[in-house]
Structure 1
Amino acid sequence: MEYDKSLHKYLSDLGHLSAEVSDLLLFIGAHLSVAESCTGGLIAGTLTSISGASDWFDTGVTTYTRHSKQQVLGLLDREIRDGLVSEATAMAMCEHVAKLSGAAFSLSTTGVAGPAESEGYKACAAWIAVHSPMGTVSRWLEHEDEGRNTNRAYIAQQALSLLLEELQKYVKIQKG
């Protein structure tokens, strides 16, 4: 197997971002829940690899299909009418996992890991969302297809980056 420099970079970034997220959640005294689709549990797995994660990590679910998004997270037909890879779905996943867990912060991913297209989207296209006491924000990602595992790591890295941005905004607002 050939060494994948991009995969290594994204996984390394995930570790650093996870540590920063952990520190901020501990500082705030808040909990995080995660609802993943295309990243398949990579974010939750990375976050919970940190010692003491039980002090700030609440819930991690992987809902890969329409059925699981509806049955596990409670998404409504109207929330997924634009497809599983949509802004509305990402935001609903995020908001529903927050409601289920009671966590102040939540994160979601839904997209196409690859190698094939899905719902008309190319591999490494995804919606990510973060829910916080400030509301819910989302971001569209479209990146060069670097292979399924690298794509998953890239999407996870971008999702944690968005979460970190929102945590930093929250801390800044609280400091006033």
Structure 2
Amino acid sequence: MTDFPAPFAREVDALATEIGQLLLARGETLATAESCTGGLIAAAITEIAGSSAWFERGYITYANHAKAEMLDVPPAFIDGLGAVSEPVVAAMAQGAASHASARWAIAVSGIAGPSGGTPEKPVGTVWLAWATPAGIVTERQVFAGNRSQIRAATVYRALERLAQLLLEAA
């Protein structure tokens, strides 16, 4: 993966490979909805040969209106709470799964910096969501580092938690 240190890239590849094996064994598919990572999660997934058998599509919805247009995120969520919020990322995950007809989806929205942070949402704040057959799972993280490090940590966490959820659902 571009701009990721070699050991980190290997860990991401290993997670993406594991996710692919689990999805393939179940005959299920995955979609992504990305804001702050700008497609890095989809890129990590498509580094895996054969991922077309289990990766349906990725949505890069960096702009707020794209989240509403492509993923059916209610504009009131964005207007009321901001794009970096639990309701927005949950709606992104649901919208990605629904529009792609995928059983699983990952969604992320965050503040990668170096600017844009506030006392309530400092740089490094990222909301992640996973659409699963059992429902939506969300979490908030505050990652340290520069823009590249925050985005890399987001990719890793998104894949790490998806692998855990897939194993729990087995």
TM-score for the superposition, normalised by structure 2:
0.91
Cα distance, 1:118 vs. partner?
Answer: 3.5
CA distance in 2, matches of 1:141, 1:8: 24
1:56-100 CA-partner distances (Å, limit 9, x unpaired): 000101101111111121211233231100011110000001110
8 Å CA contact 1:79–1:92 kept in 2: the answer is no
CA distance in 1, matches of 2:137, 2:100: 19
User: Where does residue 102 of structure 1 map in the other structure?
Assistant: 101
User: Where does residue 75 of structure 2 map in the other structure?
Assistant: 77
CA distance in 2, matches of 1:7, 1:47: 17
User: Where does residue 124 of structure 2 map in the other structure?
Assistant: 124
Cα distance, 1:153 vs. partner?
Answer: 0.6
1:139-172 CA-partner distances (Å, limit 9, x unpaired): 110122x21111101011001111111111111x
8 Å CA contact 1:26–1:56 kept in 2: the answer is yes
User: Where does residue 40 of structure 1 map in the other structure?
Assistant: 38
CA distance in 1, matches of 2:135, 2:97: 11
Please say which of residues 69-78 and 85-94 is displaced more in the overlay.
69-78
Q: Which amino acid letter does the alignment assign opposite residue 130 of structure 1?
A: W
Q: What is the aligned length? A: 166
User: Where does residue 142 of structure 2 map in the other structure?
Assistant: 142
Q: Runs of 5+ in structure 2 lacking a partner?
A: none
Q: Runs of 5+ in structure 1 lacking a partner?
A: 172-176
TM-score for the superposition, normalised by structure 1:
0.88
Q: Kindly tell me: are residues 140 and 8 of structure 1, through their superposed partners in 2, closer, same or farther at Cα, counting changes over 3 Å?
A: farther
What SS class does the counterpart of residue 136 from structure 1 fall into?
strand
CA distance in 1, matches of 2:77, 2:101: 20
User: Where does residue 29 of structure 1 map in the other structure?
Assistant: 27
8 Å CA contact 1:32–1:103 kept in 2: the answer is yes
Mapping 1:44-59, distance limit 5 Å = 44-59=42-57
8 Å CA contact 2:130–2:138 kept in 1: the answer is yes
User: Where does residue 159 of structure 1 map in the other structure?
Assistant: 158
Identity %: 33
Calculate the aligned-residue CA RMSD, in Å. Answer: 1.6
Cα distance, 1:117 vs. partner?
Answer: 2.8
Q: Which amino acid letter does the alignment assign opposite residue 133 of structure 1?
A: P
CA distance in 1, matches of 2:70, 2:11: 30
Q: Which amino acid letter does the alignment assign opposite residue 53 of structure 1?
A: S
